[in-house]
A = this chain, B = another copy of it.
Amino acid sequence: MIGERIKSLREKKGYSITKLADLAGVSKSYLSYIERNMQNNPSLQVMAKIAAPLDSNIEYLLGDESLPKLHENDLLDDEWRSIIQNAVEEGMSKGDFQVLKDLIRSNLWKKNMTERNASINEKKKTSNIIILHIDNDN
């Protein structure tokens, strides 16, 4: 349930119910209800207000209630998310990504190969991967 998540995050931060209620701008009585699942139908605004001082978001607080669970607490942080989101919007396929991933796993990572492409060279500072070839015929 939703209450456990909030309570867990709250205690992790060392906040009392009263403190979190103040930070969030909701009444402590209502927060108390929510944590104990006595009122499990809060509005989006209340959820957002509670999530903020917990450095969380509605999605995470929903937890199993809803399908996905992505959260900084769960390894995949927001920066990653937006990077990937953009890539997908720009047409990256799962297969494309899998190549990169498999590459890393198979430790080609460590091996140096030759050849270089000038147009890509400038990207070097941010990564140790250089992509030379893009195949378009399948």
Contacts and interface: CB of A to CB of B under 8 A. Distances in A.
A135 B124 contact: yes
A23 interface: no
Contacts of A134: 103, 108-109, 111-113, 128-130
Interface string A78-107: 111101111111111111111111111100
A25 B137 CA distance: 49
**This chain: copies in complex:** 2
A110 to B, nearest CB: 7
A29 interface: no
Contact of A126 (B62, B75, B99, B128): B99
B66 A76 contact: no
Given A70-B70, A117-B113, A134-B112, A65 B91 contact: no
B138 A130 contact: no
Contacts of A85: 69-70, 74-76
Given A65-B48, A133-B116, A138-B128, A86 B70 contact: no
